[in-house]
Amino acid sequence: MSAVSTPNGKETELNRIKELLDRKDLPGLLDFLSGLSIPDLADLLMLLAPSARVAVFRLLPKEISSEVFAYLESSHMNTLLRDLTDQETQHLLANMRPDDRTALFEELPGRAIQRLLNLLSPEDRKEALSLLGYPEESVGRFMTPDYIAVRPHWTVAQALEHIRARGTDSETIYNIYVTDDSWRLLDDIELRRLILADPAEKIERLMDHVFISLNALEDREQAVRTMERYDVFALPVVDAEGILLGIVTADDVLDVSREEATEDFHKSAAVTPLRTSYHEANAFSLFTSRIGWLVSLVFINLLSSGVIAFFEKTLASAIALAFFMPLLIDSGGNAGSQSATLVVRALATGEIRLSQWIKVLFREILVGVMLGMVMGLASGLLGVFRGGYRVGLVVGVSMVAIIILANLVGVLLPFLLTRFKLDPAVASSPLITSIADCMGLFIYFSIAHWLLGLP
């Protein structure tokens, strides 16, 4: 399958499928479907009427139908499963990769999961339950047990013969894992080294005992960072005793990376991460994902109102101060959001560690001073123009202080959240902005009270 459909091409392909179905030209339909890519087949399948959808799906070869099924969204998977017989579903599950099967079970409702588990063979059911037993965000939840392992006392010829016999069912054969009789991981060897080695040479002569592995209980983000750092296609997954349980591959890691990035984007906008795609989400789920944070921010913003009320006499004595309130608090919020975004991303990618917070703090103090001086000068000139020299001085000094302190809040909050085992992404722009608003108003009116001698 190599052809890739364009949006306009999908309508043509859909009409072609319907035409072949109406003519009952099943050989011609199979030949046409074989020329499409797996993602395009998945898209086209869900555009068909239910009866036609099932007919087309049943026509696909088993190995292709399982791949197409893995590309469907969870709601479409559930819809298709309802239309298939138990025997068809059993064949489908048996041909799915273990990691894809586990992902399916995570998305479906409880009753559907129970039905599917009952349709699995005892071996597959044991495998699925084992994978599902790991914490939701752990490496163990998306590893696959389909890998090639050899023994150190085997010859290269024996290992290659084993690879030929078992390689078809393996997720990847680029890396071959060496284990002892208890399945404890000893090393990994690139297939290229085996091919180039003397067939009579022992595997243990090729081993250097240097390898990278993941613990099944580690957070799945660790898999993303490790694979990026060492630039590898697959990583072995072991338990606390070093027993090889499975592997994670680059395609799994890319899915995780996309999900984590989406989650961080949602949190950075003060939105509770969606459990489904935006396309599948209904209005109520979109409402509930936003309302909690918005109501919380309302109460946080009441602090800003309290600051204004506290300095009511100061504001009444110099009404020109009101002109610059939006400028100052917005600038502080923007500066804090910038620093928070940079720190959150650096923590997420491993560029900085929790122990480096002092170094980051001092650097951001310097950055805050430079930003504050430039913005303080610009806003001070505006203050002079609108309210005179004294107001300009208040606005300029306030801007410097607000930018520096907002920058520090934006830096320290992600570190504090990380220290208390919370996701630093919740140090979102709206939260930082709300804190900076309250802090900025207090600084502004305090400086005005001090420099202008107001009540």
Instruction: Give the CATH number of the domain where residue 214 resides.
Output: 3.10.580.10
- Output 450 or 176, whichever has higher pLDDT: 176
Indicate the residue among 101, 134, 167 that finishes a domain: 134
* Partners of residue 215 on adjacent β-strands: 238
Burial class (CB in 10 A: 0-12, 13-18, 19+), 51: exposed
- Asked whether residue 288 falls in the same domain as residue 249, the answer is no
The two structure tokens encoding residue 89 = 């579903």
Q: Is 430 found in the same domain as 340?
A: yes
Residues 33 and 153 in one domain: no
The pLDDT of 72-85, averaged and rounded, is 80
Q: What CATH code is carried by the domain that includes residue 61?
A: 1.25.60.10
| pLDDT digit string, tens, across residues 276-305 | 666 667 777 767 767 776 777 777 777 777
- Dihedral of alpha carbons 46, 48, 54, 57, sign: negative
Does 144 fall in a domain?
Answer: no
- Based on the fold, state whether residues 216 and 336 are members of the same structural domain: no
Q: Are residues 245 and 294 in the same domain?
A: no
What is the DSSP annotation of 134-162? S-TTBGGGS-B----EE-TTSBHHHHHHH
Residue 4: the pLDDT is 46
CA dihedral for 288, 290, 294, 297, sign (positive or negative) = positive
> What is the model's pLDDT at position 272?
64
Q: For residue 139, tell me if it sits in a domain.
A: no
Would residue 143 count as lying in a domain? Answer: no
Mean pLDDT, the chain, integer? 82
Check residue 3 and give its pLDDT.
47
Question: Could you tell me if residue 265 is inside a domain?
Answer: no
Q: Which residues lie across from 236 on neighbouring strands?
A: 247
- Do 153 and 129 reside in the same domain of the chain? no
Task: Report the SS3 class of residue 96.
Answer: coil
Closest CA to 437 of 328, 288, 357: 328
Identify which of 423, 264, 269, 411 has the alpha carbon closest to the alpha carbon of residue 352. 411
- Determine contact, residues 352/360, Cβ cutoff 8 Å: yes
Number of domains in the chain: 3
Distance CA 245, CA 21 (A): 45
Give yes or no for residue 312 having a pLDDT over 60. Answer: yes
Q: What CA–CA distance (Å, rounded) separates 13 from 261?
A: 33
- The region of weakest confidence among 153-167, 398-412, 434-448 is 434-448
Out of 57-66, 206-215, 395-404, 439-448, least confident range: 57-66
Query: Does the residue 272 lie in any domain?
Result: no
Single-letter amino acid, residue 276: T
Number of H helices, E strands in the chain: 20, 6
163 and 116 within one domain = no
Alpha-helix runs per DSSP H in 72-216: 74-83, 86-95, 98-107, 110-119, 122-132, 156-166, 191-196
429 and 305 within one domain: yes
**Residue 2, pLDDT above cutoff 50:** no
* Confidence at residue 454, expressed as pLDDT on a 0 to 100 scale: 64
* 165 and 148 Cβ atoms separated by less than 8 Å: no
Domain boundary among 109, 134, 159: 134
DSSP bridge pairs for 248: 235
Q: Is residue 56 part of a domain?
A: yes
Residues 98-150: tens digit of each pLDDT: 777 777 777 666 567 667 766 777 677 667 766 666 777 788 877 887 889 99
Containing structural domain, residue 191 = 149-257
pLDDT tens, 18-49?
888 888 888 888 888 888 888 888 888 888 88
